A and B are shown apart, each in its own frame.
Chain A
């Protein structure tokens, strides 16, 4: 029998995917008017568990100043092949985003979850963004929100990494009120070095 207590006490290593997620979040906030007020939300790396989490839940301000919910997934890959499997495999980014689009309940759980966090943070910007996003999400005519997929790579940039998945998703998402963005971030440093650089052990 597995010792549950021992598993609980074991420190979870900071894994590469965590770094990718953090990077994605910062980049989205800096460059795309995205706002994340609650960062604890991570999809458990528990394939037998309930797949209720996503990597990113927050808000995005679009061109006309409107604020929308943003639901996003982040994947990290060093695979040389393009597109990498993390885009296309059954638990890959493409399917995860499709799932978010199809599963209204899943989105509701995410929205309810961060609504709860407003009570904890008591942050007015958070409240205002939420109220604005709700109006668009429950729009009389069509629900409006944004799906975001971020791929973090340490390979050479290649359009093929995203194109196939984007085309597929774009075809599947019928409503033009639902935004879809796929973004690839290419770092010139190999994945193995990330953790040490963050910890100041390597430059």
Chain B
């Protein structure tokens, strides 16, 4: 089942009531990116109806939360409910938000929940906090829940937990007033509601503490029963108070809480080995991008895929792009080092491009240096500093790194010269990133030869191949590992690392008035289904005509990209060659009227480009408009800095050749391509 087909589950559950919801959802998703698109009234009504029915179906399957249908419905609910979010002002709105959070988690899209809450952050934290104690408790608790989900650092969680403590202080001030305000006959009801909220608050506090430490107090690990216990009491008291909204809210919150616990690195990876524990402590406490939770494919790989089971020598991990394969590789590396480090064992992390060598080297250094592991890289085509001869001296016996990051070709050379083959410094694990290159003609052969060489020369070596879905993953696993080879795939292929809509752009109209619309394409096993026509831009009295715009793919690409340029929603434009990158970037720059404030990172890069390539190099002026180019014509260091700026969301457009296409992750809102066919060898990655 592909992502767009999941909506059929809902249509099938209510055949007479729900129609065409998949098309409306696609339109709604595009509407989030392009202001020009809005849903009409009947479409909005359909979404609302589908959302309510979806909730009812989820309740029907409540006792089977782990089955695929149930998870898919939860993820559908999340999609439907986040299409358009109104004002968050009432306690009922909080119930709706808790539903979105819970169903997002139950639908295995916790990463979307985080993005969504970040967008709503201002509304949520500006929520009016009344003096009325019951509402005050509920709203403050809700804000803490949101803080726990969107936390950026260890500190954020700790502060959120602190807020629950503040409520204990406030209790003295507000509780009595609240109860005294209620007529005597109603007091027991009011009191019951308050008691239920106290247990709710307690549950949140427990969750926060567990996120921080992986346990509740010094020895208590049985968090799920704790959560269930407090929620059961909270529900009983909500029922006694007659507040059925709270009862529902607790029901959803409990499911979220348990899911959150099970997603944590603590739940999945406690007690694996010393290195993993140290690593987990470090990655959860570090300032930058702390990790507390695993993504769904990561968890599945470790638990169901038995990734850390040493009985398997080879793993082929076939997961969608950006589902966090690198972290999985890191755990695997730690496992290998735990076993072999004392005997001099080391790990090779091999990637297809020099850009990736740099990216992975930086990532591994950041993650592993603090726990005492040493990372090296080797990528240059020519030997400059004698580092490589040092690598192969005495078959590498003089070296002391734990992980070497390098390209397929380079490691091949090194191993042929003996690196990794000695008893003192054996190669114990090879991580092959972007392993789908094995399908490609030239590089595939290199990679295949490399793996065969390693298998022959390095007796202790295990393999982990990271790849987006490849058709022959099973065979590769078996070729390298025999019976001890395992292919890891996730069961639910509707799972998506990001929300995307694929389509082709077309024009309709004539002269200076025309529309550009998107014809959506749904990929189903290699073939395309043509979907809805969704108008994106309406061109009125432009000083360019439709025939000029559509005279060539390049003209169209330039024109369209300039129309959707926006700093808040960065795009990547794929050019077919180096010269096109300049043509497109020139055009975008000329047509961008926005003036940007100074940014020290941008200025730094500008100065660097000026000193390396001269003041007149076009990239300098592009950067003023937050546009950059990326191709083999740009030196590695500059390319790397551009990638960094893109990752940080400081560029509004990156015009690139296919250099950008392999395995690099950027937060972009759209990728615009001039053609289906790019000069790749073989099909496009």
Binding site for B on A (CB under 8 A): 1-2, 4, 7-8, 10, 12, 15, 40-50, 52-53, 105-106, 108-113, 115-116, 118-119, 134-135, 138, 140
Contacts and interface: CB of A to CB of B under 8 A. Distances in A.
B441 interface: no
B244 A10 contact: no
A113 B186 contact: no
Contacts of A42: 242
- The A interface is mostly helix, strand or loop, or mixed, namely loop
Contacts of A113: 244, 247-248
Contact of B134 (A41, A49, A111, A135): A49
A40 B178 CA distance: 26
B296 interface: no
B132 A2 contact: no
A115 B192 CA distance: 24
B243 interface: yes
6 closest A-B pairs by beta carbon, nearest first, are: A44-B242, A52-B245, A46-B189, A7-B191, A2-B179, A1-B176
B242 A2 contact: no
B187 A2 contact: yes
A4 B63 contact: no
Contact of B182 (A46, A116, A119, A134): A46
A1 B175 contact: yes
B242 A112 contact: no
Given A2-B179, A4-B175, A8-B195, A115 B56 contact: yes
B14 interface: yes
B16 interface: yes
B175 A49 contact: no
Contacts of A40: 239
B507 to A, nearest CB: 35
A75 to B, nearest CB: 16
Nearest to B91: A50
B169 interface: no
A47 B183 contact: yes
B95 interface: yes
Given A2-B187, A10-B188, A135-B16, A119 B63 contact: yes
Contacts of A7: 179, 187-188, 191
A52 B243 contact: yes
Interface of B: 14, 16-17, 49, 52-53, 55-56, 59-60, 62-63, 91-92, 95-96, 132, 134-135, 172, 175-176, 178-183, 185-195, 237, 239-248, 251
A19 B135 CA distance: 30
18 contacts: A1-B176, A7-B187, A8-B240, A43-B242, A46-B193, A46-B242, A46-B243, A47-B183, A50-B135, A50-B193, A52-B244, A112-B56, A112-B59, A113-B244, A119-B59, A119-B60, A135-B17, A140-B16
B17 A44 contact: no
Contacts of B247: 113
A134 B13 CA distance: 12
Contacts of B185: 15, 45
A66 to B, nearest CB: 14
- The B interface is mostly helix, strand or loop, or mixed, namely helix
Contacts, number: 127
B458 to A, nearest CB: 56
Given A1-B172, A1-B175, A50-B243, A44 B186 contact: yes
A53 B238 CA distance: 11
B563 to A, nearest CB: 38
Given A50-B92, A52-B243, A134-B14, 13 more contacts: A45-B186, A45-B242, A46-B186, A46-B190, A46-B241, A46-B242, A50-B91, A50-B245, A113-B247, A115-B56, A115-B60, A135-B16, A138-B17
A192 to B, nearest CB: 16
Nearest to B53: A138
B245 A44 contact: no
B551 to A, nearest CB: 46
A49 B242 contact: yes
A15 B194 CA distance: 22
Contacts of B242: 42-46, 49, 53
Contacts of B188: 7-8, 10, 12
Nearest to B171: A1
Contacts of B244: 41, 52-53, 109-110, 113
Contacts of A15: 185
Contact of A134 (B56, B62, B175, B251): B56
Contact of A45 (B16, B63, B189): B189
A144 B245 CA distance: 23
Nearest to B246: A50
A108 B245 contact: no
Nearest to A15: B185
Contacts of B183: 47
Contacts of A106: 92
A134 B54 CA distance: 12
Contacts of A111: 52, 56
A137 to B, nearest CB: 9
Contacts of B91: 50
A114 to B, nearest CB: 9
A36 to B, nearest CB: 15
B178 A4 contact: no
A147 to B, nearest CB: 18
Nearest to A130: B56
A10 B186 CA distance: 12
Nearest to B96: A105
Given A111-B56, A116-B59, A49 B190 contact: yes
Given A46-B186, A46-B189, A2 B176 contact: yes
A48 B187 contact: no
Contacts of A118: 60
B175 A2 contact: yes
B56 A119 contact: no
Contacts of B52: 108, 111, 138
A41 B237 CA distance: 14
A8 B198 CA distance: 14
B182 A47 contact: yes
Nearest to A138: B17
A8 B14 contact: no
A48 B190 contact: yes
Nearest to A110: B244
Nearest to A12: B188
B62 A119 contact: yes
A45 B237 CA distance: 14
